[in-house]
């Protein structure tokens, strides 16, 4: 099973759990409020709520998690934010009315839980039916807010949205981070041949395909700059299983699978260059009407210079000694020590390694 598939299944299971917990809390509160015996009411309402919540959030979660890999999902990605949001609210809202209005949870609670608890089925049915309008209203509000947050997460990045919402970097802090710069080689000459609009589609498809490997390796996309994507990890998160190195080769493997599609549409397959460096940065939130989390420090500049050095040294993927020293589980990679190298704009040299894998020089088959 591919890592992206495992990750999506894991996310789906988490969505079921979240739906069940939300349903349990709302259903239990409803049962306590409307049942003459609060304990039995909490149990009965909780059962109904768990079923309704798991089914509803599970259905929505399945669509969000798995739909993106289909043609419909890719079409939705190209529509404006407002259109996508309204469409999803309408579709998921209709689904909510069908599930909640269909009283799936109530029926099971009446059929199974009532006899076990010794409650009158008619009383249980009345208790669980009583606040149907409230239940629908609350479910629709929760769904709409959840969808808004999810769509915002797609725009700015889930981790960035979470950090801004929680104020994690409201005050700047010092962090140890990895930075991986991945550049699409030859995009300038490609633009001259096929035109800027086609190149935009080309780069968009490359970055779309790269998103799964980045997520699979817990990377956070810092920014897209022209034909380059900058990915970052805290050292604590990226150290395990050499995630930044594995991420690059996973991206390359994903693009290799799509080579026939690229050659058919654009006449060329994407080629990558990359550089990895690590060190101390100042991380903080900046901006007024538009907030963003940025990183300041020599690490960013050094990584950029290291990526430029891939051309001079004729190597696809370069990593600094500082980065490799912070990684674990390097057995799956071939490290070619190129020695200390001068980098443009830096007085001191940087010890540089060319990175490949045991499966091939610079690519994964």
Task: In whole angstroms, give the CA distance from residue 124 to residue 118.
Answer: 10
Task: In whole angstroms, give the CA distance from residue 4 to residue 86.
Answer: 28
pLDDT in tens, 156-207: 777 878 887 888 888 899 999 999 999 998 887 888 888 888 999 999 999 9
Task: In whole angstroms, give the CA distance from residue 129 to residue 121.
Answer: 12
| Nearest Cα to Cα of residue 31 among 105, 112, 101, 98 | 105
Distances (CA, A) of 29 to 36, 46, 123: 13, 8, 17
Last residue of a domain, one of 156, 188, 210: 156
Average pLDDT over residues 111-138: 63
Measured between alpha carbons, how far apart are the two ends of the chain, in Å?
16
Q: Are 42 and 28 spatial neighbours (Cβ–Cβ below 8 Å)?
A: yes
The helix or strand, by DSSP H or E, that contains position 177, with its residue range, turns out to be strand 173-185
**Which residues on adjacent β-strands are paired with residue 336?**
354
**Number of structural domains in the chain:** 2
Q: Are 242 and 327 spatial neighbours (Cβ–Cβ below 8 Å)?
A: yes
> Are 38 and 184 in a shared domain?
no
Task: In whole angstroms, give the CA distance from residue 30 to residue 53.
Answer: 14
> Are 127 and 181 in a shared domain?
no
> Are 199 and 335 in a shared domain?
yes
pTM > 0.75: yes
Q: What is the DSSP letter of 103?
A: T
> Are 180 and 283 in a shared domain?
yes
pLDDT in tens, 37-85: 677 667 767 777 777 788 788 888 888 888 766 777 777 777 777 788 7
> Are 182 and 50 in a shared domain?
no
Average pLDDT of every residue of the chain: 83
Q: What is the DSSP letter of 157?
A: -
pLDDT in tens, 310-357: 999 999 999 999 999 999 989 889 999 999 999 887 878 999 999 998
> Are 94 and 189 in a shared domain?
no
* Burial (CB count within 10 angstroms: exposed 0-12, middle 13-18, buried 19+), residue 156: middle
Last residue of a domain, one of 134, 156, 178: 156
Q: What is the DSSP letter of 241?
A: G
> Are 268 and 301 in a shared domain?
yes
Last residue of a domain, one of 93, 125, 156: 156
The first and second tokens of residue 180, run together, are: 């991986």
> Are 165 and 208 in a shared domain?
yes
Phi, psi of 78 (to 5 degrees): -90, -5
61 is in which domain, residue-wise?
Answer: 3-156
> Are 216 and 298 in a shared domain?
yes
Task: In whole angstroms, give the CA distance from residue 33 to residue 22.
Answer: 17
Largest distance between two CA atoms of the chain: 83
> Are 37 and 58 in a shared domain?
yes
């Amino acid at each position: 099973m591919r890592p992206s598939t495992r990750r999506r299944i894991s996310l789906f299971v988490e969505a079921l759990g979240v739906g069940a917990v939300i349903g349990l809390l709302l259903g239990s509160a409803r049962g306590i409020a409307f049942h003459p015996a609060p304990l039995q009411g909490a149990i009965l309402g909780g059962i109904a709520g768990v079923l309704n919540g798991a089914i509803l959030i599970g259905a929505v979660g399945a669509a969000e998690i798995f739909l993106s890999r289909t043609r419909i999902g890719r079409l939705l990605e190209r529509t404006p934010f407002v259109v996508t949001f309204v469409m999803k609210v309408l579709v998921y809202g209709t689904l909510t009315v069908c599930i909640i209005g269909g009283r799936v949870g109530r029926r099971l609670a009446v059929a199974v839980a009532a006899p076990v608890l010794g409650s009158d089925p008619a009383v249980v049915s009345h208790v669980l039916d009583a606040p149907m309008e409230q239940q629908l209203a609350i479910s629709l509000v929760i769904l709409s807010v959840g969808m808004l947050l999810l769509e915002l997460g797609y725009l700015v990045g889930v981790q960035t949205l979470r950090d801004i919402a929680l104020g994690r970097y409201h005050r700047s802090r010092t962090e140890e981070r990895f930075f991986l710069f991945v550049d699409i080689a030859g995009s300038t000459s490609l633009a001259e041949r096929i035109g800027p609009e086609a190149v935009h589609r080309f780069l968009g498809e490359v970055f779309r395909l790269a998103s799964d490997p980045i997520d699979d390796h817990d990377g956070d996309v810092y920014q897209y700059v022209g034909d380059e994507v900058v990915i970052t990890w805290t050292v604590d998160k990226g150290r395990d299983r050499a995630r930044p190195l594995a991420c690059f080769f996973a991206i390359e493997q994903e693009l290799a699978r799509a080579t026939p599609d690229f050659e058919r549409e654009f006449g060329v397959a994407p080629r990558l260059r990359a550089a990895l460096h690590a060190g101390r940065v100042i991380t903080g939130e900046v901006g007024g009407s538009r907030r963003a989390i940025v990183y300041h420090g020599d690490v960013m500049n050094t990584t950029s210079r290291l990526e430029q050095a891939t051309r001079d040294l004729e190597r696809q993927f370069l990593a600094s000694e500082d980065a490799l020293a912070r990684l674990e589980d390097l057995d799956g990679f071939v490290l070619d020590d190129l020695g200390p190298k001068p980098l443009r704009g830096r007085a001191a040299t940087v010890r540089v390694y060319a990175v490949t894998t045991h499966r091939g020089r610079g690519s994964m088959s």
